Each structure stands twice: as structure tokens, then as C-alpha cells.
Structure 1
Amino acid sequence: MSTPPDRIETLVTRDAWVKPIGITLQVHVVGTALVGSMAAVRKSKELVAIQDLMRGLGVGDDKIRIDSLTFAAGERWFSGSSVEIDLEIRDVPAQSVPEALGGLASLKGVSLRGMRREYGALSAERDELLRAAVAESMRQARLIADAAGLRLRSVHSLSQQWGEPNDDNDHAYPMARGARAKLSVSADDMKGYQLVENHEGKLSLTVRMELRVGEFGEAAGGTESGGG
């Protein structure tokens, strides 16, 4: 006589489209600045122009962070030096991205290195996906148990695997055709990105569940298969 399985396994995937709380721009700047303090660097005409542009879009100076700074000093240290600056501009409103890119493209010595969506914790969305995935896992397990004449006893194991909205590619926005090959050219050339009006990304969850099952038929004790 065959021995019934002691566990039922289910694999359920659920996903949802989520809206970003803002867009982060990664910008490279080539210009000149008085080298002596970070405050002096921040007064370079290129950074001042970027700050003015972003203020007009509602992005404060505190959202513009200098990630790296490289300079080559002239003969006189404080007379002005060549400077390369990598900036991260956070929390740009999604609806303002085209205007931000257009403004940056008009600035000499400024190039775009990357863009990505920022979503925050997504706590409510994650909770909703988890509830839905677990409920569907239990529904499938009950269906299998009823069809096989088994009784569900308890959950043996449950694992989760999340797919984040920005996992689709490095920058969350693909570079326009030919732009990747031109990434090392002059910083005066704005790098192109494919930009769409809908900035949403997909949050996904896969739940793998194993449930213990009992003997065939109706036996005393244990957990009912829960048809309702």
C-alpha cells in the first residue's frame, strides 16, 4: 500500500505596481573652483547653477550631496583649479524630471550619469502582498488536501523572496540607444535616457510554504482541512 505524503508544498507569487516618492539623479560636473574648503567648492558657478535650477523645482540644497571631488591645482593653489564633482540629487519630484533633465542639459560641463526611483520602505504595500500570498498558499494547500483526502495539520516552513522595484536594471531607467558607448566622451555632452511618463515600478513577492498533512480519511484529532 502506498504511503501518503506528509507535506504539501505551494509556491505563490504576487506583485503590485508602486509609485516612487522621488527620483534620484546622479550628475557629473566638470568646472573650476577655488580649492581651500568645501564651502568654496560649493560656490563654483556650475554647482550654483544646479542649486538654482533645483530650487525652482522644489528640491532644497540639502538634497544635493557631493559624493566625490577631484581637482588638479594650478600654479597658484588658490587661484582656481580644475574640478570634477560627482553629485547625487535626491527627491526630485517625478513630474519634474523632464524639466530637471532639460535644465541640466543646458548647463556647460554637466552630464547625467544615472537615474533611479526611490520608493521608501513600502511597508503597507509589503504587508498587503504578504497577506495575499499567504492566503493564496493556504487556499491551494486546502484544495490539494481535500482532493487527496488528507487533513492539514500545521505549517512546516515558510520562506519569502522579494523582488524590489529597482531590480530590473542598474539605474532603473535604460540609457538611450548608443549612449552607453559614449559614456566616456566629453562631460559637455548630456547622456540620453529613455524616459516615460509613468515612473512606477513593480514590487513582487514569492512565498514558498510547506504544510504538514495527516492520514487519509477522517481521523480523530488534528487540524481540519478548512474548506471554508
Structure 2
Amino acid sequence: MYKIFVIEDDEKIINLMKDRLERYDYTVITVKDYTDIKAEFIKENPHLVLLDINLPNFDGFFWCREIRTVSKVPIIFISARFSDMDQVMAIENGGDDYIIKPFSFDLLLAKIKGVLRRTYGEYAKSNFKEIYEIEGVYLYKNQNAVEYRDNKIELSKKEFSLLYILMTNLNDIVSRDTLLEELWDDIEFVDDNTLSVNIARVRKRLEDIGIYDAIQTKRGQGYSMIKTWD
């Protein structure tokens, strides 16, 4: 079931779209805090965004740019503004399509189905979840990046894979063999010190964003990631 994030401040339009889209088995999420739409987007991790231009605090162009810093999720602008310049700005700021209000629901539905099919369906190159949020830490799988408290850094592919495995098994012990098998095809040819070196690198990278002592060594067993951050 696809999740659609509706960024709109007109309650009537929100209720109309929510009612109609849910009839077609879409999950519809709406904005709760217009001051930090990016944080809500990251938390919800939707498959598609429907975005108005005229919004409280900051306009839709701003929030489109903000979303594009963390995701390639398809964004369809829906606005009463009909000038060519508005449509050009929507595309230049990262939008995928533009619908002018008042709109036909059949047209909206067709555009939603089309962009979802291109992005996740039969025409898509890949289908994956881009962002994982675990206890306030954000993992960007597309970018091999990690973020905590607005501090974001890129990791090497192996560093990210190690962190991802440990974070998604938070508080559990992950054996050395499991980590080695996930990262290297043939563990017989991997020096035992190689994993320790990579773990040390991940610890240092976490310190760079303000997370300390989170990866614990469990002697004779493996490693465990515990929550040491606020």
C-alpha cells in the first residue's frame, strides 16, 4: 500500500483528497506542524508527496527543496497559481508534475498512478526505502549517510553497511561472523583484524556527529549498538 503525504493547508481540500484517495487503498498522511515539514516527511517516509505552493511560514518551493536534500521521492505540486513561471519554478525546485486547482480527481488519480508506476512499479529501476529513522538517528540508504541533530556525514559503503546492521539490531548482539558474512563474500580470506578496523572507523564517524560509545564490544560474541545519545 502506497503512502501519500499531503502538504496542504485548506482543510476542505485535505478532507476531499484524503477521502477519495483512501477509497483507492492509499494511505494518506497530512501535515501536523507547518514549521518543520521536512522532519515530518523524514518520519513518515512516504512514497509520494502532494504539495501546495501557498503554505504558512514557508512556501511549497522551499519545502520541495528541503525534501530534495534527503530524498528523490516523487513530488506533485497542486496549486491555484496557474502562471507558466510558477510551473517552471515548481519543476526547477525539484517537482515532478504540476496540477492546477480546481482539478479533476480523475486527473489527479491518473497522475498519481503514473508517477508511482514509473518510480516503484514496472518501469522503475529500483524499489527501496530511502530513509530509516532509529531513535532520532537518520540513515540515508541511497547516500551511505547518517544524520544526528542536523549533523550529516557520508560513510564508505562498508562503514554504512556495518552501521545499518548494528542500528537495525539496536541493543542486540550481532556476531562477528554475521557482520563478516554481510560485508565480505568469502570470510575465509578476511583477516580477523579487518572487522575491528572497520568498527573503529564507524565509531570515529559517529563521534564526528556527536554520538559516543554506542558500539559496544561483546568479547567472544560480537558487537552491540546501544542508545547512548539523547
Q: TM-score range by the shorter chain?
A: under 0.3
- Greater helix percent: which structure? 2
Length-normalised TM-score, structure 2: 0.25
- Greater strand percent: which structure? 1
Length-normalised TM-score, structure 1: 0.25
State the structure with bigger RCO (CA 8 A, min sep 6), 1 or 2.
1
| Larger radius of gyration between Structure 1 and Structure 2 | 1
